[in-house]
Amino acid sequence: MTTMTTMRELHTRLKHLFPLGELSEQRPDLAFVTVPAEFLRPSLLHLRDREGYTHLVLLTAVDWLEEGRFQLTYLLSKRTLGQDIGLRVMIPRDGATMASAHDIWPTAATYQRELREMFGIDFPGSPRVDEDFILEGWIDIPPYRRDFDTLKYAQENYSQRPGRETRDPATHMQQQLYPDGRQG
Amino acid sequence: MSMKPELMKRMVKGPDGVEFEVEPLRDYYCEAPPTVMPAAYSKIVEDLFNWARSESIWILGFGTGCGAIEMRPLMTPRFDAYRYGIQWRPTPRQANLFVISGYLSTKTLKRAIRSYEQMQNPKYVIGLGSCTINGGMYWDSYNTIKRLDDYLPVDLYITGCMPRPEALLAGFQDMKKLIRAGKGEGANQYAENFAWYKANQKRVIHDWDMPDYNW
Amino acid sequence: MNFFAPDRSQYPATKTDGTLDIDLNSGKYLKLWQGPNHPGITGNMSVELTVCGDEVVEGRTHVGYLHRGFEKLMERRTFIQCFPIVCRICVPEPDFNEYCYAAAVEELAGIQSPERANWIRALILEMGRINSYLMYLGGQAGALGQGVIGQWTTYVRDLMLDRFEELTGARIYHMFILPGGVRDGLPEGFEQRMEVTLREIENTLKDVYDVMFCNAVFKKRTVGLGYIDPALLDSYGVTGPNARAAGVAKDVRRDQPYLVYPDLDFAPVIGQDSDIYTRADVRRRDLLMSVDLIRQILARMPRNGPVMAETPSVLHWQIPRGETYIRGECSRGEYGYYLVTDGSGYPRRVNVRGPSYTHAMALLERMIVNVNISDVAALMVSLHTYPPEIER
């Protein structure tokens, strides 16, 4: 039985229980599936207790500013079979909040602290989620959001030393390949 | 920003039940700003002092950034900084050279300032790597400072990303020449332009919750 | 080893939500910051300890001193501009960043790196692993007061850095593994010089074993201390030698092989009692296994072949929308890169998952309770955490 069919079988089994999206297989041992927000905790518990995906590898967020949503990715791993499944949850950008998973995996509390600080996604009930984690004395919007311009912030807030030139390779190659100014 | 609560004046009850008043700023911190240290009374004595200072530079062992990884090989027999009288000291009280090894995030800058102010005069600062000069590779980062000499008085820069131990040793040789020529005046510069340095520091560190001058 | 049994009635009771009830004004507790400027810390993080007498009651890890905002910076750089910056995320062992990033970009772009490049990549990763373990051994002994071992291991690490310099051109930040392959092949005579270096490393490790692992003081201070329960490994995300010392053979090179590891003969090194001594021993044996792996790689590598695949020009390189996760086994545990692309020439999101993220925060805060102050440094070093990968 190849790992690809095992992932598909897992998907079929889970689809009977939860309204999942399509399974997108990235590799034979890695697949992503979209889960609605209210079914996240039951599916995490089911995957951990019944299916053997006991290791929470990663909990991260992607900012889809154009669509006005955050994508939370929970990556779970089953070491005995060497397979990973990624659960994608889409939540709205304004007032972003998600149920906390810290009682399922204690390490989720750390990931959730970072997401709260860097993206502004709230996880009510997570221990010490409001404390400063990485940044100290930060007074702007959460920095990993797409609408935060890091270059502008750096130029306004830190004094620069004059005389820096930037040779941007894209501009340089553009001038070399298309000297008459075409975009190429 | 207000001070931390443990720095405020308050009543404390000891384990034996007796209550007494504690004022940490007065008890533990020095209120006077740093003063300019004058040179010795005659040039020969000052030259002797400078020679002695240059021959026993003790580095504060605070690896503030990437460059700290090339400081460790310096203290091993292969590159051997000890033969130049250069040692690592863990506490700022016993150090007189602060090597800012690389970029400084604002969080580390606060601790670096505090460590620098706890060192005793005469003290010197070396900026290691290109991040201290103009921000280096993190020139567009929102958390690192771009120019070190706005916040601390720098005596020497060693370029590279990162500099080899031999480059560090060459930098130390240059530092020695600087000190012997009487130009290692970073601490006096800090004392003279204290208000300017403090203003720069406070502009970048938004939660200034400690006294202005530490010891 | 406890020579006295502490009076438990002094310790605070936990409240219902799990937090402790510590009254700092009562004079029984003291807050000690084992802060960023401390010789007993690996790197630049701090542990805020609340101690009662000589024993730690609560610990909190503070990170963020090395935060540069890499993930944000990488969104502003094209795929090929990201690779010089990526190796600076983990300072002492930079090659894993390069490999995981390159493999993630290749997978999403559909580029296959050539066979010889994979062998050279595995060689570099193993060399980096040896360097990291040597630094760890020096740090572990140094945390207990044995400074000599740090001098020896840093010296042989310098010899290995010489090999790196010969191969890649730089000592610390190599920038050698890029999407598409590696930058160049091996220089003339590299195998002979590498064999000399490996023999030097093995000789030094014999001395290190005699002086450190057979040392009565080291044994007394580390055996039985810092126990990680094997049942907690998955819920706390423990990977790498920390997990293998607890008897669980968790090695990404064996579980989900990447690069050329299916062609090499090795077995994960495991230990039984998961205390500080066993973790140090597992790492030492893993180091010797890496030396053997380098010999195998150099013997089995194809002699000629391209080292770099064709990659699109920087003006036109756009990767269609997708996401992937690439993992590797670095010396501290499982290292992973999660890359999301959106069809433009810039990555949408790069998330670096360093092993110290789980070891230094949740695990350390749990393990540090009831530890003597003088053993805190030894415990922290035995988890082999490097702070830059926690806060990137």
The verdict on B77 touching C (C-beta cutoff 8 Å) is yes
User: With 80 as the cut, is the pLDDT of residue A166 above it?
Assistant: no
Where b means 16+ CB within 10 Å and e means fewer, C240-249 reads bbbbbbbebe
Predicted model pTM: 0.89
| Domain edges within chain A | 3-161
Of B13, B63, B141, the CB nearest to C68: B141
- Identify the DSSP state of A96: -
Interacting residues of C29 by C-beta distance below 8 A, sequence separation 6+: C22, C23, C50, C51, C52, C57
Backbone Cα Rg of chain B: 19
For residue C116, pLDDT over 70 is answered with yes
What dotted CATH number matches B43-203?
3.40.50.12280
- For residue A134, give how far its alpha carbon lies from the nearest alpha carbon of chain B (Å): 9
Q: Is C227 helix (H, G, I), strand (E, B) or coil?
A: coil
What's the confidence (pLDDT) of residue A5? 63
What is the chain C residue with the closest CA to A125? C17
List CB contacts of C145: < 8 A, sequence separation 6 or more: none
Q: Which CATH number fits domain C70-391: 3.40.50.720, 1.10.645.10, 1.10.10.10, 3.40.630.10?
A: 1.10.645.10
List all residues of chain A from 135 to 164 with a beta carbon under 8 Å from chain B.
135-140, 143, 148, 150-151, 153-154, 157-161, 163-164
Chain A residues lying within 8 Å of C236, measured CB to CB: 105-107
Which pLDDT does position A1 carry in this prediction?
A: 41
User: B104-118 in b/e burial notation, b at 16+ Cβ within 10 A?
Assistant: bbbbbbbbbbebbbb
pLDDT at C9: 58
* pLDDT tens-digit readout, C136-185: 999 898 888 888 898 999 999 999 999 999 998 888 888 898 888 888 88
Which chain B residue has the Cα nearest residue A166?
B139
Residue pLDDT, tens place only, B199-215: 888 888 888 877 777 66
8 Å CB contact between A57 and A51: no
Query: Mean of the pLDDT values across residues C324-338?
Result: 90
List of E strands, B23-118: 58-60, 87-89, 97-101
- Domain range list for chain B: 43-203
pLDDT digits (tens, 9 = 90+) for C333-342: 889 999 999 8
Supply the CATH classification number for the domain A3-161: 3.30.460.80
CB nearest B78 (choices: C25, C150, C155): C155
Residues in A closer than 8 angstroms to C78, CB to CB, are: 169-170
State yes or no: cis peptide before B122, omega within 30 of 0: yes
| pLDDT tens digits, C260-293 | 888 888 888 888 888 889 999 999 999 999 999 9
Return the domain boundaries, chain C. 70-391
**How many other C-beta atoms lie within 10 A of the C-beta of residue B72?**
22
- Report ipTM for this prediction: 0.86
CA distances from C370 to B42, C50, C367 (A): 59, 11, 8
What are A179's strand-pairing partners?
Answer: none
Is residue A119's pLDDT more than 60?
A: yes
| pLDDT of res. B65 | 82
pLDDT of C196 strictly over 90 = yes
Instruction: Decide which of A183 and B52 is more confident.
Output: B52
Helix and strand totals (H; E) in chain C: 14, 8
Confidence band for C10, pLDDT divided at 50, 70 and 90: low
More confident residue, C53 or B154: B154
Check CB contact under 8 Å for A57 and C334: yes
Q: What's the pLDDT at A14? A: 80
